[in-house]
């Protein structure tokens, strides 16, 4: 039986981590077995204590630690090196994205129609918490730049829910340490000429008071990454 590797970068998510893991463990994966790769990126709240006491076998999870915070891209680079599955899915440790939608996201890959699937928060049809207006403009702008530079038609390049055939994902050498890994991965898979599908997903976005971490500075880094990786690897 094939395996789904679920990569979960974690930074200061003591309030949501166990709930997310419980949801992931119950999620329908279309017949794939699950392995969970958790990478704690130098958490300073109670996250590490939770992970230290976690019944890893219950979740079929492996846990890795960074001594200091390096960024989401760095955490995924670590997770990438330990993933053993046939399909790779990226899951945040907050509650913004719903694991109950795994089966829909996996279906095009399992049916052999897609190599990569992105879950879009912006193509309609699902429950979505209202975006802050500048976050919405920023997401649309970054997707537009992606489409112009890489001849694509994505609506949500910055989405967390990205699903890959493992052989495609393993070809991507993640160089960016922070949130600019999103445009980096997108650029590198599009340059491979993959069959990339988008499907609508639900989104329960947080604001900064609730723990949201991305800022306008990350948008600038994203633009730079899109331009950089258009002409280099």
pLDDT of residue 162: 98
| Distance set, CA 229 to CA 67, 174, 191 (Å) | 29, 11, 9
pTM of the shown model:
0.91
Q: What is the pLDDT of residues 113-124, one digit of tens each?
A: 999 999 999 887
Burial code of 110-136, b = ≥16 C-beta within 10 A, e = fewer? beeebbbbbbbbbeeebeeeebeeebe
How much is the mean pLDDT over the chain? 91
Report, as an integer, the average pLDDT of 177-187.
92
The whole domain housing 102 covers: 3-231
Q: Which two tokens stand for residue 113?
A: 């129609």
Question: Would the pLDDT of 211 be above 50?
Answer: no
**Pairing mode, strands 61-66 and 87-90:** unpaired
> d(Cα 226, Cα 224) in Å, to the nearest integer?
6
pLDDT of residue 150: 96
Q: What is the pLDDT of residues 32-64, one digit of tens each?
A: 999 999 999 999 999 999 999 999 999 999 999
Report, as an integer, the average pLDDT of 140-161.
94
Q: How many domains does the chain have?
A: 1
Domain containing residue 26: CATH number: 3.90.550.10
């Amino acid at each position: 039986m094939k395996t789904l590797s679920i990569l979960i970068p974690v930074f200061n998510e003591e309030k949501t981590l166990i709930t997310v893991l419980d949801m992931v463990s119950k999620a329908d994966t279309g017949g794939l077995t699950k392995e969970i790769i958790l990478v704690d990126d130098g958490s300073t709240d109670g996250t590490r204590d939770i992970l230290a006491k976690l019944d890893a076998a219950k979740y079929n999870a492996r846990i890795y630690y960074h001594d200091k915070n390096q960024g989401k891209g760095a955490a995924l680079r670590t997770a990438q090196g330990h993933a053993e599955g046939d399909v790779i899915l990226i899951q945040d440790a907050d509650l913004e994205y719903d694991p109950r939608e795994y089966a829909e996201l996996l279906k095009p890959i399992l049916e052999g129609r897609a190599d990569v699937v992105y879950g879009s928060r912006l193509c309609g049809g699902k429950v979505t918490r209202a975006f802050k207006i500048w976050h919405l403009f920023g997401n649309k702008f970054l997707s537009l730049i992606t489409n112009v530079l890489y001849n694509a038609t994505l609506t949500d390049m910055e989405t967390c829910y990205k699903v890959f055939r493992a052989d495609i994902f393993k070809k991507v050498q993640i160089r960016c340490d922070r949130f600019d890994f999103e445009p980096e991965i997108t650029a590198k898979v599009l340059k491979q000429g993959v069959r990339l599908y988008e499907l609508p997903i639900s989104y329960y976005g947080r604001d900064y008071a609730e723990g949201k971490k991305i800022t306008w500075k990350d948008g600038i880094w994203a633009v730079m990454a899109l331009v950089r990786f258009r002409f280099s690897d």
